[in-house]
Amino acid sequence: MTVALETKGLVKRFGGFTATDDVSFRLEQGARHALIGPNGAGKTTFINLLTGVLTPSGGQIFLEGADITRLRPEQRVRRGLARTFQINQLFPAMTPLETLALAVSERMGGGRDWWRVIGSKRGASDEVVEMAQRFRLTDVLDERTSHLPYGKQRLLEIAVAFACRPRVLLLDEPAAGVPEAERHELLAAVAALPRDVSVLLIEHDMDLVFSFADRISVLVNGAVFTEGSVDEVSTDPRVRAVYLGEKVDE
Partner 1 sequence: MQNVADHVATTLRRRGRWSAAEVIFWLVAAAPLFLLPERHLLLNEIAIVGLFALSLDLILGYAGIVSLGHAAFFGVGAYVAGLLAKNGIGDPVLGLAAAAFAATGLGFITSFLVLRGADLANLMVTLGVALVLGEIANRMAWLTGGADGLQGVSINPIFGIFEFDIFGTTAYAYSLIVTFILFVIARRIVVSPFGLSLRSIRDNSLRARAIGIPVNARLVAVYTLSAAYAGVAGALLAQTTQFVSLDVFAFHRSADVLLVLVIGGVGYLYGGLIGAVVFKILQDVLSAWTPQYWQFWIGLVLVILVLSGRERLADRGRALWASILGRSTAPVTQPTAVEES
Site residues for partner 1 per CB under 8 A:
51, 53, 72-74, 77-78, 82-83, 85, 89-95, 97-99, 101-103, 105-107, 110-121, 125-126, 128-129, 132-133, 138, 141-142, 144, 146, 160-161, 163-164
The Cα–Cα gap between 238 and 248 comes to 6
Which C-beta is closer to partner 1: that of 138 or that of 229? 138
Among 55, 58, 49, which residue's Cα sits nearest to residue 81? 49
What is the smallest separation between the CB atom of 107 and partner 1, expressed in angstroms? 7
Minimum CB separation of residue 146 from partner 1 in Å reads 5
Query: By three-state DSSP, how is residue 21 classified?
Result: strand
Please state the closest distance from residue 218 (CB atom) to partner 1, in A.
26
What's the burial of 149, exposed, middle or buried (CB within 10 Å: 0-12/13-18/19+)? middle
Angle between helices 124-134 and 150-162 (to 10 degrees): 140
Smallest distance, partner 1 to C-beta of residue 148, A: 11
* Partners of 211 in the β-ladder: none
Kindly provide the residue ranges of all beta strands, DSSP E only, lying in the chain, ordered along the sequence: 3-14, 17-28, 32-36, 58-63, 66-67, 81-83, 168-172, 198-202, 215-220, 223-229
Nearer to partner 1, 8 or 78 (CB): 78
Of 174 and 213, nearer to partner 1 (C-beta) is 174
| Least distance CB 232 / partner 1 (angstroms) | 33
Q: Name which of 43 and 215 has its Cβ closer to partner 1.
A: 43
Residue closer to partner 1 by CB (options 67, 126) is 126
Q: Which is it for the CA torsion 209, 213, 216, 221, positive or negative?
A: negative
